[in-house]
Amino acid sequence: MSEPAENSTLGRRHRVRLAVAGWHLTLGTLCALTAFPLLWAVLTSLKPANEVFTTTPLSAHPTLDNYADVLTRWPAGELIGRTAVMATGVAVGQLVIAVLAAFALAYFRPGARPLVLGLTTVSLAIPPQALIVPQFLLTARLGWLDTEAGLIVPQLGSSALAVLVLLQHVEALPPSLIAAARLEGARPAELLWHVVLPGLRPAVAALGVLVFITTWNEYLWPLLVTPDALHTTVQVGLAQFETAEGINYGGLLAAATLTSLPIVLVYLAASRRITDAFLTSGLR
């Protein structure tokens, strides 16, 4: 091999390495920016009350008192349970609606399809706060205040994103797969269950996690429906640490850390399944 060629490959290799380094630097910075507040919150939750406002990241006297306090005086179990029920209900509900709607729109191609798609897209642009008063009144008249139904059902109205995403995925399935199932005698419901749904698994899993986490973090609606701070969701319950004498930061951050754990677990469990599903898909 001649010298100049050798040099140019080396040059290219250098450039590639530089690009990779730059990329990693950017990602690393972003990770640090994202992780820093979380880390600070966790570290602060381990500080005794008189050290909360110090700027040293690590406490001189680390303590679990805040956690003990939260677990004994704050209904953590009940709040987490209720939030989990709400988030699961909303995630499952939205996915059921979205799968059925996406399949129906893609497979039957109803005449109202453009209208339905238009309204669905428009509904994404409406801020939820704009609808909150009528929605609250309706929920109250139904007698659903302070109930699971009141927490879950109104939040199913924001399924638009899930519908649109799944519609894309249904339409991306190979048409021959659908045709083959029809020729084998599959009825629409069987087609959905045996052929379409397995093909949507990665998308459904990803959406499920997304909706679950978004709902878990929901604040305004649970605050309106379940205002009793002891029988509500964690996000509303956290407001309890704001008292007349000021904010109990140690307790607040300990509680926030504790209540984030379920989300982390859900994500860890699901991300594995999402990757698996991506790997096992593929037609030919």
Partner 1 sequence: MTALLPSASRPSDRTPAPPHVELAGVTRTFGTTLALAGVDLAVPAGSLTVIVGPSGCGKSTILRMIAGLDAPDSGTLRIAGDDVTARAAGERDVAMVFQDYALFPHMTVEGNISFGLRLQARHHRRSGPGRDEIRARVGEVCALLGLDNLLHRRPAQLSGGQRQRVALARAIVRRPALLLLDEPLSALDPQLRASARAEIRRLHRELGTTLVLVTHDQHEALSMATHLIVMDQGTVAQSGNPGELYRHPCNELVATFLGTPRMNLHDRDGVRIGWRPADGRSATHRDGVPPGAFLVDGVVESCEFTGDGQHARCAGPDGTFVLVQREGESWLEPGDTARVTVPAARLHRFGPDGRRLP
**Least distance from partner 1 to the Cβ atom of residue 190, Å:** 6
Part of the chain binding partner 1 (CB under 8 A), chosen from 19-27, 198-206, 240-248, 259-267: 198-206
Q: Are 109 and 168 within 8 A, CB to CB?
A: no
**Least distance from partner 1 to the Cβ atom of residue 109, Å:** 14
Per-residue tokens: 236: 């509303």
Asked if 189 interacts with partner 1 (CB under 8 A), we say no
| Burial 16-37, CB ≥16 within 10 A → b, else e | eeeeeeeeeeeeeeeeeeeeee
143 in the Ramachandran plot: left (φ > 0), alpha (ψ -120 to 50) or beta?
Answer: left
Q: Are 79 and 259 within 8 A, CB to CB?
A: yes
**Least distance from partner 1 to the Cβ atom of residue 192, Å:** 13
**Least distance from partner 1 to the Cβ atom of residue 108, Å:** 13
Asked if 106 interacts with partner 1 (CB under 8 A), we say no
Among 165, 177, 210, 213, binds partner 1 (CB under 8 A): 177
| Burial 98-110, CB ≥16 within 10 A → b, else e | bbebbbbbbbeee
Asked if 28 interacts with partner 1 (CB under 8 A), we say no
Asked if 195 interacts with partner 1 (CB under 8 A), we say yes
Binding residue count for partner 1, defined by CB under 8 A:
23
246 in the Ramachandran plot: left (φ > 0), alpha (ψ -120 to 50) or beta?
Answer: left
Q: Using CB under 8 A as the criterion, what x/- string covers residues 244-283 for binding partner 1?
A: ------------------------------------xxxx
Q: What are phi and psi of 143, to 5 degrees?
A: 75, 25
**Least distance from partner 1 to the Cβ atom of residue 168, Å:** 19
Task: Please tell me whether residue 242 adopts helix, strand or coil conformation.
Answer: strand
CA dihedral 261, 262, 268, 274 (to 10 degrees): -150
Whose Cβ is closer to partner 1: residue 1's or residue 183's?
A: 183
Asked if 180 interacts with partner 1 (CB under 8 A), we say yes
Among 58, 174, 227, 230, binds partner 1 (CB under 8 A): 174
- Return residues touching partner 1 (CB under 8 A): 174, 176-177, 179-187, 190, 194-195, 198-199, 201, 280-284
